Every structure is written in structure tokens, then in C-alpha cells.
Structure 1
Amino acid sequence: MMEEFKKYRALLMAISYRMMGTFTEAEDIVQEVSIEWFNTKREEILNPKSWLVRVTTNKAIDALKKAYRKREIYTGTWLPEIMPDSLITWEDDLDIKESLNTSFLILLENLSPKERAVYLLSEIFEYNSHEVSELLNSTESNCRKIKQRAKEKIKNRNLAKSETSEESLKIVRELFDALRLGHNDIVENLLLPDSEFWSDGGGKVSAARNIIIDINKISRFLTTIFKNLENDEFTYKYDFTNVNGLPGLVFSKQNSKKLWNLETVFSFEIECGKVSRIYAQRNPDKISYVENIFL
């Protein structure tokens, strides 16, 4: 049974991460599924893949109900756990990797847990209505209604189509250099007029409490922060990498004991050669898992 579980573990992680928006919660769900899998008699499982997907999806629905309640009272702006691409080892299908985009995961927050499950299973993982109904113990008619309701909820929401390439990373480097040197004019030229800045500190570290949309405010906010770092007594380092399929920047600070602490994981959405959205994940609980890679 171990080999069968290993065979489908990547799929279970792919579903769980998109359902929860956090790597740690997704791992917890898959771990729970593995325990139930090994405690279930083999003769009771007619189709291993269907059984695993069904149990995973339903556990994720239950977990997401609890998570949503916590997110309603979350301090500041909630962002998904931002994953460096090197950690996303369970994805090998290029056609669905776009659904790991931070913007897409935020979009899914507009859906109820069941709507999210139906939408993901049908639209991303390409299960038909009959298969979805069996996985969720519902009727085909009901699942089709839920799917349509989910699509209506998110169809008019803004989902950026970000560009990912070496040229995109070059734009991020240019933006970072301009921020560090305090060149507001260059910063504003690299941002789209309707750019947005999202920051998640979880109430544990400093972060912008609300989404910043005004291009001048974004420029002033970020140039002030980065320019002040140049005069800081501590040492900083920056690693450019891809994050959730987007160009990104991992920012770390060396403390007085010469130990490195990961401060922020940035990711950038690029449209028409300019930055349209900046995501700054600063919540220590959501970035601690990447420290071993960059520190």
C-alpha cells in the first residue's frame, strides 16, 4: 500500500495546497489521509486513486471551513503561503502550474469550501461532473450548479496574467535597484498605473494593513523602507528566485549574533513589461519553512 500512496501523493498535495492556500495545512491534510489510508483494509478500497482524492478533498473542505473562520479575524491582509518554485516538488504538469499563482489562490478565497472543491476538481484537475459528484458524495445536478455559482463569483474578479521569463526577473532587479537607491521616478516608471501592493505580517511583524493601490503611495512606501536599510547597522542579503511561478525576491537580515533571519518573500506579477502587483509575505509562520533553502 505504501507504493500506491506514494504514486498519488503529488496529486494529493496539488489538490490540498490549492484548497488551503498554505503549504503547512496542505501537508497536514495529506498526513491525515496517509494515516487513514494505512488504517483502512485494502479490500475496502476498490479504486485507490479515487479513494485518496475523495478523502483528501473532503478533509480539505472541513479544514477550510475552520481556516475561513480564522481568516475572518486575521490581522491585516491575508496572503497565501508564498512558495519558492524549488519547493514545489509535487508539480510536473505545466498546464496547471498557473493555478499556483498567488493571484489565483487569492481569487479562490471568494468561494465557499465546497465551491472551491468543485471548481478545482472540474476546472483545474479536469474531473467530469459524474466523477466530481462521486468524490463529493453529491448529485451531478448539484455539482453543476455549484460549479456555475463558483464561476459566476470569480468571473469578474481581476486575475492578472503574469509574464514569467528572464526578462521579468530583470525588471524585478531594476525595480529593486531603484528602490534601494531611492529613485522614485524609475520606480514609478516600472509600475503600471493601477499597480497594487499586498503585504501580510499576520499581526506579528510590521506590514501595510491595507492593500496599497496608488502608484505614488507604493513608490514612496517602498523607497522609504529600502533606502532606510542602506543606513541600517545590520547586514542584508537578497536572493532573486521564482516564487509560485512568478519572479521573486527573498530578503534576509543578519542579526547582532551574525545569524541570518528571513524577513520577507516578495513575488511580482508582470504585465506588458511592468509590475502590476507586488506581494510581500512577512508573516514568520508562513515563511519559516523556506529558511533552510536561503539561509
Structure 2
Amino acid sequence: MSTATAVGRLVPGEPFLEHRPMLLALAYRLLGSVHDAEDTVQDAFLRWTGADRQNVDNPAAFLTTTVTRLALDRLRSAAVRRETYVGPWLPEPLPTRPDDPAETAALRDSASMAMLLLMDRLSPAERAVFVLREAFSLPYAEIAAICERSVASCRQLHHRARLHVAASPRPPAATDPARGRALVQSFLSAARSGELDRLKAMLREDVVYTTDGGGKANAALRPVLGADKAARLFASVFDRFYRTAETRLLWINHAPAVLFERPQRHVLYVFDFDAEGRAAELYAVINPDKLAQLLARLDDVPPLPAP
């Protein structure tokens, strides 16, 4: 029997089922990949089924510890694979719900594209401590037990991680879903009209336009910097590839996004707008492997609400 089938047969109230959403959230923030997060949680489930439950006083702590340690192993392997990755790397897009009452502001922020990219620069240990402390608000004593380090060491790792993150300030994103939909629609309207100045005006002067093809789809091998270059590149690819594509507006990684749907290839753009409604970051996920998880569950992904 597969792990997925076994999970499906668990009865309501079983601790693993109760904590599974939190475990997936933790694994994704540690790994930046929906696929790897799901595999990690499945591996944790196997550890859970093989554990002596009489010796497990706190199922949540046991499962959190197991997922974190499994994710750390995957992080170390991913760092090696990343050395041969073609072009810029972006996190695997995560469908999110704008009105999820279970998510705190810290949880939402830790799943943003910008924060995941910042955390990708941390060491595996720094990232684990940072996520457990910042996103899940665990006390240092629990983090120390999970990471098999002293409390003092965890405090130091957290301090270093916060310094790294603070060294790369991000423009404040102030976009609720309805406003995000309106901004994306305006951006696409400017592209369709061919008004380059209008398109450029919707970008910050210091905008960063990152495309991730992973060597499996045509993409820029370096981030494109600046409003003029970014506007010209987007206008060019829009005319060549996206003008006749079907579009679907979504809420991805707690940010407005547009999925261009074409017969041969889909492309996802995620926007990080600042408080003035200009795009500070433009992320294009073109790698078909990273889009596979999203495309497989599109029927369950809610559209962006209308303004």
C-alpha cells in the first residue's frame, strides 16, 4: 500500500492528519519546493507509523522534529544540485488562499517568493532556526532540541540569519487580493496596447525581473535589472508568446499572479507590488517541472477575487 493510500485511510483525529497542514507549511518554507515538501512529509509519516507511540509524549513535537531533520538532509543535497542549475532559481509556486484564517502574517511572509529567495542564501542550519523561530514562533529550547544544538548556538544562528535577511531590504508589499487583481489587469492591458511607457510606469526603477527556465525552457540566464529593460523584455515576450494565450489570475505565494496557458507551454508570472502599485519584483516560472504541481491542481486553486 502506498504512503498516499495509507494517509487517506487514517481516521479523523489521528495526530498525523491533524498536524499535516502545519508539517507541509514547515517543509515548504524549509525547501522552497511543493514536491519536495510533500515527499518530506510522506517520509515523516513512515517514521510516524514505525514509531513506538507509547514513547511519544508530544506528537506535534515528534513530527515537527522529524520533518525538520528530513528537510535539512534534503537542503544539503539541494545545495549540491543547485550548483549545476541553469540560470536563476526560483521557488516552486505555492497556491495560497487569500482568506486562510489559519495563516499568521509571519507565515504568509515566510512563504513569499522574496523571502524564500532570501532564505535560500542561508546555511541549512540558519534557515531551519530562522523558519522555526520567525514563522512558527517556537521557543529556543524547542528549536535546540529539534536541531540538536545548544540554545546559545540556536540564538546565534537566528541572529546571523536575521542579519542576512535584513541586509537585503525588500520594498513593502501592500497588495490585498482584489487590488492585486486590478494591478495585474492594468499591467496586462498596457502590454496588450503596446504602450511601453505605460508598462514602464508600472515598474519601479529598480525592478528585478527574474525568469526561471532551469535549462528546460528558454529564459534569461540572469535577472534583468531596471524598469526600461524589464518593460522592453516583457513587451517582447508578450507579443511573441502570450498575446493569444488564455490567462488565469491567481493568488500564488500570497501575491497576485497570472498564468499564461498555451497548448505547448504554460508560464506563471508572480508580482511583488509596492505600496504605490508598482512592481518591485517580477518572477517568471517557466521551468515545466516547477509548474507541474500547480497545473495538476488548478481546479482547486481559487481565482483572484474581483475588485
State TM-score, norm by structure 2: 0.88
**Matching of residues 90-129 of structure 1 within 5 Å:** 92-95=102-105, 96-129=107-140
Checking the alignment, whether the CA contact within 8 Å between 1:180 and 1:230 is kept in structure 2 is no
Checking the alignment, whether the CA contact within 8 Å between 1:262 and 1:291 is kept in structure 2 is no
Question: Per-residue displacement from partner, 1:238-278 (whole Å, max 9, x unpaired)?
Answer: 01121111011011113xxxxxx551111101112211111
Give 1:190 shift. 0.9
Partner of 1:31: 42
Partner of 2:305: none
Question: Per-residue displacement from partner, 1:164-220 (whole Å, max 9, x unpaired)?
Answer: 222222111111121123210110111111111011000000011100012111111
Partner of 2:63: 52
Checking the alignment, whether the CA contact within 8 Å between 1:179 and 1:187 is kept in structure 2 is yes
Question: Per-residue displacement from partner, 1:1-54 (whole Å, max 9, x unpaired)?
Answer: 861110111111111000000000000000000001001111121211111101
Pair 1:240 & 2:249 matched: yes
Checking the alignment, whether the CA contact within 8 Å between 1:103 and 1:160 is kept in structure 2 is no
Task: For 2:226, give the aligned amino acid.
Answer: D
Checking the alignment, whether the CA contact within 8 Å between 1:262 and 1:287 is kept in structure 2 is no
Task: For 2:256, give the aligned amino acid.
Answer: P
Give 1:228 shift. 2.6
Partner of 1:252: 261
Question: Per-residue displacement from partner, 1:118-159 (whole Å, max 9, x unpaired)?
Answer: 111111111111111111122111111111121122211132
Checking the alignment, whether the CA contact within 8 Å between 2:40 and 2:71 is kept in structure 1 is yes
Checking the alignment, whether the CA contact within 8 Å between 2:16 and 2:45 is kept in structure 1 is yes
Change (3 A) 1:149 1:277: same
**Matching of residues 66-85 of structure 1 within 5 Å:** 66-85=77-96
Q: 2:76 aligns with which of 57, 65, 80?
A: 65
CA–CA distance in structure 2, aligned partners of residues 51 and 9 of structure 1: 12
Change (3 A) 1:66 1:90: farther
Change (3 A) 1:229 1:62: closer
The unaligned stretches of length 5 or more in structure 2 are 1-9, 300-307
Pair 1:285 & 2:279 matched: no
Give 1:57 shift. 0.5
Paired residues, what number? Answer: 285
**Matching of residues 100-249 of structure 1 within 5 Å:** 100-165=111-176, 166-229=178-241, 235-249=244-258
CA–CA distance in structure 2, aligned partners of residues 289 and 208 of structure 1: 23
Give 1:73 shift. 1.8
The unaligned stretches of length 5 or more in structure 1 are 255-260
Task: For 2:150, give the aligned amino acid.
Answer: T
Checking the alignment, whether the CA contact within 8 Å between 2:204 and 2:226 is kept in structure 1 is no
Task: For 2:266, give the aligned amino acid.
Answer: E
Partner of 1:257: none
Task: For 2:115, give the aligned amino acid.
Answer: F
Task: For 1:26, give the aligned amino acid.
Answer: A
* Secondary structure of 2:18's aligned partner: helix
Give 1:293 shift. 4.3
What's the C-alpha RMSD, in Å, of the aligned pairs? 2.0
* Secondary structure of 2:245's aligned partner: strand
* Secondary structure of 2:262's aligned partner: strand
Task: For 2:252, give the aligned amino acid.
Answer: V
